[in-house]
């Protein structure tokens, strides 16, 4: 703890710990940096040394398996540079992993590509893209998958679902990008300030992105079920569980569009509608196992129902996180 002191009649000063001064090789006349955080706190740092890039080095000779997971871990840790090296010639499998990594992430490019080293650098400033942009993009991709699947059941051409895998990859890539931005906002006050989020809000955005990724998994599963079994599915769009999709879509749209309007009642009412819808779908699933139809058809219908139910359940989680964020914004200090 340090007391504020006044000098010169109007200037307020505070003393700094000698240990910190010594550790940072500072002395009289040196400059330090003061940075205001989104929370209103000040962060003091030394500016004596040049800022350095964060580099993650991976020996692909030691990590022949799981290399992509290690690269993703470095990406999420906000590494500026990812170096893939090997004492021998880098194998083709490693280069395939690198291509897959670049396909599944955003803002990363190869700077060096030699026989024994691949150097991947970040070209995206994490503070240039608002967190809501990725949330909105994930929502649009999920909605389009579900809507196109329904349209195929209604008689539209099946090629509407020709790019299911590509849309799922885009959803996953947006989640990874948002989590990288959150890591940057926690590590760098300048990013935190430009994104206009505090740490709690940033982490809740990451939670929303993970929930949307799970919704994307079930939207993908639903799309494939309908693509592969469109002729065999006998459920009418006006019957449960398919009749639940327009209701789910309407309530999810309400939640997304009210992320930043701070209208608690609208979000809470959407959540209640989704809870009722989820319970109704679950009740209908019990009726599936009454013996009507073939086992193959029953299994297909149950899997469709399960995916729609989980879409509702994750949307409820989405709404709950938004309510948490809104209450956090309303906190007052006594």
On whether the CB atoms of residues 161 and 226 are closer than 8 A, the answer is yes
Q: Output the average pLDDT for the chain.
A: 87
Low-confidence ranges of the chain (pLDDT < 70): 37-39, 47-52, 262, 288-297, 332-334
Residue with tokens 């992993």: 97
Residue with tokens 């650098």: 121
Residue-level pLDDT at 294: 60
5-7 and 11-13 beta bridge pairing: antiparallel
On whether the CB atoms of residues 234 and 197 are closer than 8 A, the answer is no
Provide the token pair at 277.
Answer: 């819808």
Residue 29 shares a structural domain with residue 137:
no
Range(s) of the domain holding residue 70:
55-122
Residue with tokens 């989640």: 175
Can you give the CATH number for the domain in which 220 is found?
1.20.58.220
Residue 85 shares a structural domain with residue 15:
no
Residue-level pLDDT at 166: 95
Structural domains of the chain, count: 3
Provide the token pair at 293.
Answer: 């139809």
Report the alpha-carbon distance of residue 172 to residue 214 in Å, rounded.
Answer: 9
Q: Is 159 exposed, middle or buried (0-12, 13-18, 19+ CB in 10 A)?
A: exposed
Residue-level pLDDT at 208: 95
Is 186 a member of any domain?
yes
Residue 174 shares a structural domain with residue 312:
yes
In the chain, which ranges are E strands? 5-7, 11-13, 32-36, 42-46, 55-59, 81-85, 108-113, 117-122
Is 302 a member of any domain?
yes
Q: What are phi and psi of 36, to 5 degrees?
A: -85, 125
Residue 312: CB partners within 8 Å, gap ≥ 6? 244, 248, 274, 277, 278, 281
Provide the token pair at 35.
Answer: 């940075």
Can you give the CATH number for the domain in which 117 is found?
3.30.1370
Residue-level pLDDT at 199: 85
């Amino acid at each position: 703890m340090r007391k504020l002191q006044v000098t010169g009649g109007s200037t307020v000063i505070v003393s700094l710990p000698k240990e910190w001064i010594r550790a940072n090789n500072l002395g009289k006349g040196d400059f330090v940096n003061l940075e205001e955080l989104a929370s209103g706190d000040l962060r003091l740092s030394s500016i004596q040394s040049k800022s350095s890039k964060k580099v993650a080095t991976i020996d692909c000779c030691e990590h022949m398996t799981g290399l992509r997971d290690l690269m993703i871990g470095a990406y999420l840790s906000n590494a500026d540079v990812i170096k893939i090296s090997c004492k021998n010639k880098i194998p083709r499998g490693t280069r395939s992993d690198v291509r897959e990594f670049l396909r599944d992430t955003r803002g990363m490019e190869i700077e060096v590509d030699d026989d024994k080293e691949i150097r991947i650098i970040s070209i995206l400033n994490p503070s240039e893209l608002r967190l809501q942009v990725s949330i909105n993009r994930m929502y649009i991709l999920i909605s389009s998958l579900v809507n196109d699947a329904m349209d195929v059941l209604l008689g539209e051409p099946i090629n509407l679902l020709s790019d299911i895998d590509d849309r799922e990859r885009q959803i996953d890539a947006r989640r990874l990008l948002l989590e990288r931005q959150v890591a940057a906002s926690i590590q760098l006050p300048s990013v935190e300030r430009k994104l206009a989020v505090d740490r709690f809000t940033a982490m809740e955005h990451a939670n929303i992105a993970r929930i949307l990724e799970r919704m994307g998994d079930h939207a993908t599963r639903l799309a494939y079920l309908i693509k592969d079994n469109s002729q065999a599915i006998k459920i009418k769009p006006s019957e449960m569980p398919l009749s639940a999709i327009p209701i789910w879509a309407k309530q999810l749209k309400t939640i997304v569009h009210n992320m930043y309007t701070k209208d608690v009642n609208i979000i809470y009412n959407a959540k209640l509608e989704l809870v009722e819808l989820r319970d109704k779908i679950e009740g209908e699933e019990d009726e599936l196992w009454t013996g009507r139809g073939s086992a193959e058809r029953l299994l297909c219908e149950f899997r469709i129902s399960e995916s729609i139910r989980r879409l509702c359940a994750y949307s409820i989680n989405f709404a709950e996180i938004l309510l948490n964020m809104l209450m956090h914004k309303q906190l007052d200090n006594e």
